[in-house]
Chains A and B, each alone.
Chain A
Amino acid sequence: MSGKPRSGGAKHGAGSVAAVVDLGVERLESFFAMGGYAVFVWPAFGLTALVMIWLLVATLRRLRERERAMAELQAASPRRPRGGAERAATEGAG
């Protein structure tokens, strides 16, 4: 189970490196196996990461869009000092 036996003639050092690698692979495998519950544990963490990352990305994307739209509007028609009509409209919609 722990990997192929090393060929005869390998030095003592190579044998213990192989053992360490095998041990590492075994531990990695058991980590991913999560005691048999992998099919439940990893989707739980994965789904959590997915939802939280997606919310962040969507938020940033919409923020950039709106900032860009605002910048374009202000470049096209620079804001006058706040007159009565614009303030009324802003307060109505705010």
Chain B
Amino acid sequence: MHRFANPARFLRLAAVILPWVAVGSALSLAVGLYLALFVAPPDYQQGESVRIMYVHVPAAWMALFVYTVIAAASAVALIWRHPLAHLVAKASAPVGAGFTFLALATGSLWGKPMWGTWWVWDARLTSVLVLFFLYLGHIALTNAFEDPQRGQRAAAILALVGFVNVPIIKFSVEWWSTLHQPASVLRIGGPTIDSSMLWPLLAMALGFKLYYVALLLLRVRSEMIAARLRARAQVAIEAV
């Protein structure tokens, strides 16, 4: 039973945390949406289209954050063989892929009116597209093998190898001359964005983050049950 002792503790902890995180997310998103749509001012250059920022930036931040979680979980899984670590990575990948897709799509919807183009092969956009493919690759590898452990291990290696893309994405707007604008929030010297826009952005970002945590708790629980179902099926087969 020792293999599932920690996971059992996880399930108990998850059950306690989940309601708080879920409610916190809903509240943050509600406040964030209200601020973003009704309170925040239009931009003097971009007009009302700047409101896309309030979904685009949180989605992009989550795309990077979730990949970092997957990379950390993969390292833990490969080095310490903690049984939950692989499940955290497996559970996170589709969510991260969803956020990356949203970052790209909302970015295009913002870029078309502002830059005059849906897409450009600049360093930021290209590296985020690569991130999207890394997520898809992770999901594909996880499910590619009959033995789930082999798939998880292959995906973990991909996650670690691909992690170099995360700092590339972050610094792409500094290292290359890009159409995408440079950092205005997470930068040395502090944010350059006005607080009337910063607070709605942070509220949305918090809502997105808590949403991911809630989803993660649900999905890891789901994966643990799936693993137990497979185990019982295995026992039934071997008993024949």
Contact = CB atoms under 8 A, between A and B. Distances in A.
Interface of A: 31, 34-37, 40-41, 43-45, 47-48, 51-52, 55-56, 59-60, 62-63, 66-67, 69-70, 73, 82, 85-87, 89-94
A62 B56 CA distance: 28
Q: Main SS of the interface on chain A?
A: helix
Contacts of A48: 55, 59, 102, 106
Contacts, number: 109
Contact of A40 (B113, B215, B232): B113
Contact of A90 (B4, B52, B56, B219): B4
B229 A89 contact: no
Specify the main secondary structure of chain B where it touches its partner: helix
A52 B37 CA distance: 18
Contacts of B47: 35-37
A36 B51 CA distance: 13
Interface string B82-95: 01000000000011
B231 A89 contact: yes
B48 A37 contact: yes
A86 B102 CA distance: 43
B110 A89 contact: no
B106 A35 contact: no
Nearest to B208: A52
A63 B219 CA distance: 7
Given A37-B49, A37-B113, A90 B101 contact: no
A94 B218 contact: no
Contact of B48 (A35, A56, A90, A91): A35
B105 A47 contact: yes
Nearest to A90: B231
A94 B48 contact: no
B101 A51 contact: yes
Nearest to B211: A52
Nearest to B101: A51
Nearest to A45: B55
Contacts of A56: 211, 215
Given A41-B49, A82-B1, A69 B229 contact: yes
